[in-house]
């Protein structure tokens, strides 16, 4: 087994139970992918490296598997905010119902009715402000998490594409013309990309 394969096995032995471990697992996978590229054997007189395709693709598969856990955590945060909002509305409606019942009993005392309605409106407004703040916080958290994932995945994709382009350039120079093994969306784009 290669060094990278051993490192991957060590990460796998830790497990990824729970949302926080899934977040740590995502960063561990990205670290392992970076280590795989950094420790890859270099080509003589070149900045190009040879990356074991199976190891790299296994790490990409692990990234794909870890992302749904992160998105599920974001969904849990949003669901919690929705539950708080719903509970606040329920409490506000109960307070309004209590105020209305009390107002009916004290219909002769107009000032008490006005105060009860005013207090009920304050509670509703406060509950809505609180729920909106929670929803904003949850949305901000989700957006930050997704932005972090986007940056990390962008870096990994750029490294993988650069490595594949260099490999493709060497393969084109070393072998007679043959159909490309790359999917059409990932096919090398010419010598100018291979020279980077």
Put residue 18 in one of left, alpha, beta given phi > 0 → left and psi -120 to 50 → alpha.
left
Would you state the pLDDT for residue 184?
Answer: 58
- Looking at residue 102, its pLDDT comes to 81
Q: What is the pLDDT of residue 182?
A: 57
pLDDT value, residue 33: 83
Q: State the Cα–Cα distance between residues 101 and 48, nearest whole angstrom.
A: 79
User: How many Cα atoms are found within 13 Å in the side-chain-facing hemisphere of 177?
Assistant: 0
pLDDT, position 9: 41
Name which of 51, 14, 12 is nearest 156 in CA terms.
51
pLDDT values of the chain reduced to their tens digit, one per residue, 196 residues? 344 444 444 344 443 344 455 556 777 888 888 888 888 888 888 888 888 888 888 888 888 877 777 677 778 888 888 899 998 989 999 998 988 888 777 776 777 667 788 889 899 999 999 999 998 998 888 888 888 888 888 988 899 998 998 888 888 876 555 555 555 555 555 555 444 4
Residues in CB range of 113: below 8 A, 6 or more apart = 102, 103, 106, 107
**pTM confidence score:** 0.29
Say how far apart CA 151 and CA 170 lie, in whole Å. 29
């Amino acid at each position: 087994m290669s060094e990278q394969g051993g490192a991957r096995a060590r990460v796998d032995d830790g497990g990824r139970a729970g949302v926080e471990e899934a977040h740590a697992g995502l960063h561990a996978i990205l670290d392992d992918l970076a280590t795989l590229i950094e420790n890859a054997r270099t080509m003589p007189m070149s900045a190009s490296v040879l990356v074991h395709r199976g190891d790299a693709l296994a790490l990409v598969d692990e990234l794909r598997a870890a992302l749904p856990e992160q998105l599920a955590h974001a969904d849990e945060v949003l669901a919690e905010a929705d539950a708080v909002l719903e509970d606040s509305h329920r409490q506000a409606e109960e307070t309004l119902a209590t105020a209305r019942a009390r107002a009916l009993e004290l219909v002769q005392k107009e000032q008490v009715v006005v105060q009860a309605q005013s207090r009920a409106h304050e509670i509703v407004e406060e509950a809505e402000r609180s729920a909106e703040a929670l929803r904003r916080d949850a949305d901000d958290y989700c957006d930050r998490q997704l932005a972090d994932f986007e940056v990390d995945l962008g870096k990994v994709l750029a490294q993988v594409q650069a490595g594949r382009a260099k490999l493709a350039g060497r393969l084109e120079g070393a072998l007679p013309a043959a159909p490309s093994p790359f999917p059409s969306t990932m096919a090398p784009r010419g010598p100018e990309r291979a020279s980077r």
